[in-house]
Amino acid sequence: MKKTIYLLASFLLAQIVFAQQVQKIDKFYLQRENKMSVVLKQKIQTLRSQKISQKWSFNVGYTTAMDRSLTQLAGLKAPGNLGQSIQLQNAKSTKAIQLLPKQTPDAIKKLNSFFVLRRWDWRTRGKVSPVRNQRACGSCWAFATIGAFEGNDRLRNSRSIDASEQCVLNCSGKGTCRGGWWAFDFLINKGVASEARYPYTANDKPCNNSIPKYYKAIAWGYVKGMNPNVTDIKRALLRYGPLAVAVHVSPAFQAYTGGVFNHNVNKSVNHGVTLIGWDDTKRAWIIKNSWGSGWGSTAGYGREKGYMYISYNCSRIGYAAAWVLSKKMPTPRKEDCIPFNPARIKVVNIKRRWKIVDGRSWLKDFGSNRAEAVKALAIMKRYRLNKMCFVGRPNPSMEYYLVNGKSPVGAFPGEDAIRFNPRTIRVQFIKGDWKIVDGRSWLMSFGKKKNEAYEAYAKIKKYGFTHMCFVGRPNPSMTYFRK
């Protein structure tokens, strides 16, 4: 009888708490809770009762993560010889870092500033890739690996890559859907494919080695030992960007919808996440999870859920924290462009050579080919081009045109164009030459000029060109790019 009364009281208390909190619940979670099964209602009610009795400072609700078991979601497995592995890896990483350029005074100043920084969030600086969803596969170890790598690449190369977790899952040898550990060695030794070329399918399949792996890392290491302190983690976070860290996750973690998670469970780590910042006013880390945007909160930034505030030292957060350095791409040089007036340009014959001129200056020489000069003029006027730009001079390896600092847009009647995907192009060294390729087809060849190949790659990315167009082939007298 007493047990029945106790259960009834607990149920009524949970219902009162829910009624009080209903205005605070995210609309997304509220709509889901209206459709909960009886079993899930009981789980949520039990967790809300625990919230009161244990004074949790976070909210729980029906997240999409609760549609799966923790076994499916939490697949991090620490190696048995982790202490020895950390010592060996950090000895290796120390040697690698010594070969890198020394840090600038600004960088050193930033590293020393964490003592006064009350909050740091790499999202506000655009150095965090979007929230992903590992689905019903214990591949959190791969997502944490890639989350740290993508963040550091944004920091070092000022670009937004989308690397393939499926490639890491299938090809790294570091784990499966049943669990694994950090796979940074794979990124150094082999590289990783893009998500576009090797999309995530949430299953264990044989590695597809035919897909090129053109994103690479050059070094990685652990932040001190197995249990680095808050200060050491902050310092590493500022120096390297987002970190891969381990944590123990529980049913309360699975149902987290907002606030500061402080349900401390001192058990073995079982899940990998990406640590992206901190907030000293809350005494909490900011982490990015890989359970999709139907879990968690925005953690104080933007509209996308999938993040969490978690108290310092709670549930072993920060265990085996690891950093990674992406391969540095050559720095693009200042743009080399000649402005001209599209209303004033015309085709003229100068000393038996057909040229496009702007006033007294000539822009392009077509030799004896008047037809190509006329067509090129029509193209320039059609798009109202007003800048002619180069990569490499006096013998440019790439020529492109802009209109008011932007890419020309739209097709030109009768144009000779090659379509490509700017998201999947890459620079590759093929049979002694540096080339820009899209899939198995190459677009441009730069010979031995590696820096110019990367410079051209950066320009295509910057302006979002999708077509490479020609006037006259096989030896075009004009090449231009457009969207």
pLDDT per position as a tens digit, 245-271: 999 999 999 999 999 999 999 999 999
Q: Tell me the pLDDT of the chain averaged across its residues.
A: 91
Look at residue 130 and tell me whether its pLDDT is greater than 70.
yes
B/e letters for 49-85, b = 16+ CB within 10 Å, e = fewer, are bbbeeeebebbbbbbbbbeeebebbbbbbbeeebeeb
- Active-site residue, selected from the candidate residues 137, 140, 167, 469: 140
Q: What is the pLDDT of residues 428-460, one digit of tens each?
A: 888 889 999 998 889 999 999 988 999 999 999
Which region holds residue 204: left if phi is over 0, alpha if psi is between -120 and 50, else beta? beta
pLDDT at 31: 92
pLDDT at 214: 87
How many angstroms separate the CA atoms of 36 and 211, rounded? 42
Phi, psi of 476 (to 5 degrees): -65, 140
Residues pairing with 346 in the sheet: 357
pLDDT at 22: 44
Phi, psi of 322 (to 5 degrees): -135, 145
Q: What is the pLDDT of residues 77-87, one digit of tens each?
A: 999 999 999 99
pLDDT at 332: 65
CB within 8 A of 108, min separation 6: which ones?
none
% of the chain residues with pLDDT over 90: 80
Looking at per-residue confidence, does 110 or 354 come out higher?
354
pLDDT at 109: 59
Residue type, 117: L
How many angstroms separate the CA atoms of 421 and 399, rounded? 19
Look at residue 13 and tell me whether its pLDDT is greater than 60.
no
Any idea which residue has 């999947």 for tokens? 424
pLDDT at 126: 93
Q: Which of 409, 417, 446 is nearest to 430 (CA)?
A: 446
| Element at 234 (helix H, strand E) | helix 230-240
- What are the Cα distances from residue 180, in Å, to 76, 142, 145, 317? 5, 8, 11, 18
Residues pairing with 347 in the sheet: 356
How many angstroms separate the CA atoms of 429 and 427, rounded? 7
% of the chain residues with pLDDT over 70: 91
How many angstroms separate the CA atoms of 387 and 402, rounded? 5
- Give the relative orientation of helices 2-21 and 38-53 as an angle to the nearest 10 degrees: 90
- Active-site residue, selected from the candidate residues 59, 152, 262, 289: 289
Using DSSP, state whether 288 is helix, strand or coil.
Answer: strand
Residues pairing with 275 in the sheet: 243, 287
Poorest-confidence range of 108-117, 165-174, 415-424? 108-117
Confidence of residue 104 (pLDDT cuts 50, 70, 90): low
Poorest-confidence range of 49-63, 105-119, 345-359? 105-119
Look at residue 11 and tell me whether its pLDDT is greater than 80.
no
Look at residue 416 and tell me whether its pLDDT is greater than 50.
yes
Confidence of residue 20 (pLDDT cuts 50, 70, 90): very low
Catalogue all structural domains in the chain, each as residue range(s) with its CATH number: 2-55 (no CATH), 72-326 (3.90.70.10), 336-482 (no CATH)
Burial class (CB in 10 A: 0-12, 13-18, 19+), 216: middle
How many angstroms separate the CA atoms of 117 and 279, rounded? 9
Look at residue 421 and tell me whether its pLDDT is greater than 70.
yes
- Active-site residue, selected from the candidate residues 59, 171, 263, 271: 271
Look at residue 200 and tell me whether its pLDDT is greater than 90.
yes
User: What is the pTM assigned to this prediction?
Assistant: 0.74
Q: What's the chain's length in residues?
A: 483
Q: What is the pLDDT of residues 204-230, one digit of tens each?
A: 999 999 998 989 999 999 999 999 999
289 is catalytic: yes
The DSSP code sequence of 42-102 is HHHHHHHHHHHHTT-SEEE---GGGGS-HHHH--B---TTHHHHHHHHHHHHHHHHHTSPP
140 is catalytic: yes
CB within 8 A of 244, min separation 6: which ones?
144, 145, 147, 148, 182, 272, 273, 274, 275, 321, 322, 323, 324
Is residue 223 within 8 Å of 192, Cβ to Cβ?
no
Q: Which of 278, 314, 276, 307 is nearest to 291 (CA)?
A: 307
pLDDT at 23: 43
Average pLDDT estimate for 98-127: 73
Q: What is the pLDDT of residues 272-297, one digit of tens each?
A: 999 999 999 999 999 999 999 999 99
pLDDT at 330: 74
